[in-house]
Amino acid sequence: MDAKQLKQFLQTEGATLVGVGDVTKALSKEIVHLNRGIAIAVNRSLTKETVDQLVRLQTLTEGWLKANGHRSLSIPPDSDRRKDKLITKLYKLFCHKTAATCSGLGWIGKNGLIINEQYGSKLTWATVLTDAPLGPDKPYVSSRCGDCDLCVRHCPSGAVQGHLWSLRNPLREIVSYDKCRSLKSGRAALKGKPNCGFCVTVCPYSRNGAKK
Ligand code: SF4
Ligand code: SF4
């Protein structure tokens, strides 16, 4: 099954990037039949409008797959932020970083975020899992951060550990999220913001910036 048609369709509808990954190894037994992960990204920061745009793209993807006789399961862009909802449990079963790396759209940077060669970490992601036998893209299996350590040096809480991500060692702690959270809770200037964001703004790959 040719993924090119689906990618072109979604890009016409506003997606910035679309990739297909073979996510077989990352699936828990509940969803093992859905072994293709369609990673969809838009070049915008995470706002309600961005979430709405990505959910619309997921709905279009589901419709396209259904019309071709296939099943799908959408993991919404903000599912990790929806407390006490069923979808929060889905996010624990599968996260967007896996689809993005498996579909060759980015690696996990030293800042713990998906880094895309062109857009850095200033993308917002959604995933659709499917049983459609779409031809997968070439995955990232290791980091391309290399010797860069800008996010390590500029993180004010010391949360960024400086480790290189690799598919062979996926559970290694790259960022101490406890340290990151405690910095936020101690600074009034960060009230209402998700975090300080220095590890994104200093990244050379992110300098093109996201649209607001
Ligand atoms: S958001 Fe700020 S405190 Fe948290 S890891 Fe990034 S630079 Fe460090
Ligand atoms: S700042 Fe450098 S080390 Fe950190 S994520 Fe970006 S490229 Fe990787």
Task: Give 109: exposed, middle or buried? Use CB within 10 Å, 0-12, 13-18, 19+.
Answer: buried
- Measured over the CA atoms of residue 17, residue 19, residue 24 and residue 29, the dihedral's sign is positive
Q: 17 pairs with which residues across the strands?
A: 41
**pLDDT one-digit tens code per residue, 160-191:** 999 999 988 776 789 998 999 887 776 777 67
This prediction's pTM:
0.88
Q: Cβ(94)–Cβ(23) under 8 Å?
A: yes
- Rounded Cα gap, residues 200 and 202, in angstroms: 6
The minimum-distance atom of ligand 2 relative to the CA of 113 is 5
* C-beta of 203 in contact with ligand 1 (< 6 A): no
Q: Which residues contact 164 (CB under 8 A, 6 or more apart)?
A: 110, 142, 143, 145
Mutate to test the pocket of ligand 1, among 46, 108, 111, 203 (most ligand atoms within 8 A of CB): 111
Q: Which of the listed residues 151, 153, 200, 206 should we mutate to test ligand 2's pocket, taking the one with most ligand atoms within 8 A of CB?
A: 151
- 1-50 tens-digit pLDDT: 789 999 999 999 999 999 999 999 888 777 888 999 999 999 998 889 99
Query: For the segment 49-80, what is each residue's pLDDT rounded down to a tens digit?
Result: 999 999 999 999 999 999 999 999 998 887 55
Say if ligand 1 is within 6 A of residue 206 CB.
no
